[in-house]
Amino acid sequence: MSTPIIQIKNLMKTYKIGGETVHALNNVSLEIKKGEFLAIIGPSGSGKSTLMNMLGCLDRPDSGEYLLEGKDIGKMNDNQLASIRNQKIGFIFQNFNLLTKLTALENVELPLLYAGVSAKIRRETAMESLKKVGLADRAAHLPTQLSGGQQQRVAIARALAANPSILLADEPTGALDSRTSKEIMEIMQELNEIGNTIILITHDLTIAKQARRMVSIQDGQLQENGGELLGHFAMH
């Protein structure tokens, strides 16, 4: 629990929308240690998505430093970013983002496919991953044949498949009803307990509260604990 897995220093990111400069991230600094369960909470337009894209290595900062396991992400090219995403990060999206034409198992296999793992090991690892989320019996089903909760569990299995350093969940319960939301959050808790580092991005305070640590983001600025904003979010 001591070595920081993510070190962010003075991260800046600006967008130009119609001639107006928007500071999506303004001087953001953050440190995340191995095995943490961190929630990043913020309303829409707060820079939450930009931060997530940055953490997920989908985007590069304008200035500042992002070290993932000691490696400087800002200096990497597209191909290197792709392999970092492949090996170090497991994405869990709000709307699952499963490939509809592939079965659950094949979806879970996908990151391993791009990692160049042989077919046999791929299949075994993917199956194991599906077992972790309790969907081994649905391996041959297409996403359309699964319920929302099951689809999200497949997505979690996919994120786990390549055994990444961090799990990055973007509103994982946003498209689910409260009962399945609870299920998904329980899985997340369990995963954290067995040692996975989880970053949860949400606008929902009740979800965020289930994390061990919480930071809030507003107007591109990050605040630890988010304590001051609790009142502001109470309406959600």
Q: Does 58 bind another protein (CB under 8 A)?
A: yes
CB closer to another protein, 39 vs 92: 92
Helix 104-115 to helix 78-88 angle, to the nearest 10 degrees? 130
Q: Does 85 bind another protein (CB under 8 A)?
A: yes
CB closer to another protein, 160 vs 205: 160
Task: Compute the least distance from the CB of residue 54 to another protein, in Å.
Answer: 10
Q: How far apart are CA 117 and CA 97, in angstroms?
A: 22
Task: Compute the least distance from the CB of residue 192 to another protein, in Å.
Answer: 22
DSSP per residue over 163-216, as a string?
Answer: --SEEEEESTTTTS-HHHHHHHHHHHHHHHHTT-EEEEEES-HHHHTTSSEEEE
Q: How far apart are CA 29 and CA 146, in angstroms?
A: 40
Stretch that binds another protein, among 30-38, 68-76, 94-102, 176-184 (CB under 8 A): 94-102
As given in the structure block, the two tokens for residue 156 are 């979690």
CB closer to another protein, 86 vs 151: 86
Q: How far apart are CA 109 and CA 164, in angstroms?
A: 14
Q: How far apart are CA 13 and CA 135, in angstroms?
A: 39
The only residue of 150, 158, 200, 205 in contact with another protein, by rule CB under 8 A: 158
The only residue of 5, 8, 30, 86 in contact with another protein, by rule CB under 8 A: 86
Q: Does 143 bind another protein (CB under 8 A)?
A: no
CB closer to another protein, 53 vs 189: 53
- R_g (Cα) of the chain, nearest Å: 18
The only residue of 126, 162, 169, 205 in contact with another protein, by rule CB under 8 A: 162
Structural element, H or E, at residue 24: strand 20-33
Task: Compute the least distance from the CB of residue 221 to another protein, in Å.
Answer: 21
The only residue of 5, 8, 51, 110 in contact with another protein, by rule CB under 8 A: 110
Q: Does 101 bind another protein (CB under 8 A)?
A: yes
Among 122, 117, 152, 120, smallest CA distance to 134 is for: 152
DSSP state of 125: H
CB closer to another protein, 89 vs 188: 89
The footprint of another protein (CB under 8 A) covers: 53, 56, 58-59, 78-79, 82-83, 85-87, 91, 93, 97-99, 101, 110-111, 113-116, 158, 162
